[in-house]
Structure 1
Amino acid sequence: MTTPDPDPRRTPGIKPGGGVSPGETPPAEGGISGISYPEPHELRKGWGPMALVLIMVVVALVAIGLIAMVVSLVT
């Protein structure tokens, strides 16, 4: 079993004081971005016709209410 905190005097590449030489550690980020293969995705259906009709009815009722408020204020 290896110890989780090895002795720094025996670890290769570590300078006295705890630093490391350039090139001893791997880069922080990979040089390749993006995915390596296309991920499968499901095509989702858009809004159903019933939902769109319901939204249009609500918008029409709000518009009628606003017009009625304006007419009642003017007269």
Structure 2
Amino acid sequence: MHNVECLEVGMVTQIGKAQVNEPEVGREYVRGFDSNSWLLFTEDQAEDRPVVVRIDSIDGDVCHCTVTRKLS
């Protein structure tokens, strides 16, 4: 995974499948406060999380993602 602070909307990145809480293709995830896990994104979440990613595909232990929103 790239440094989340450097990611911009439209960029692609990868996340370890073990870091995503119930990964599902097509769903959006936001980085958890512990900075190692990703949680399902909902519109009412705090604005202090840096980026939101959408899982485009899952290949083995890797989730291939696209950054869909930059919140802060």
More helix by share: 1
Larger radius of gyration: 1
* TM-score, normalised with respect to structure 1: 0.18
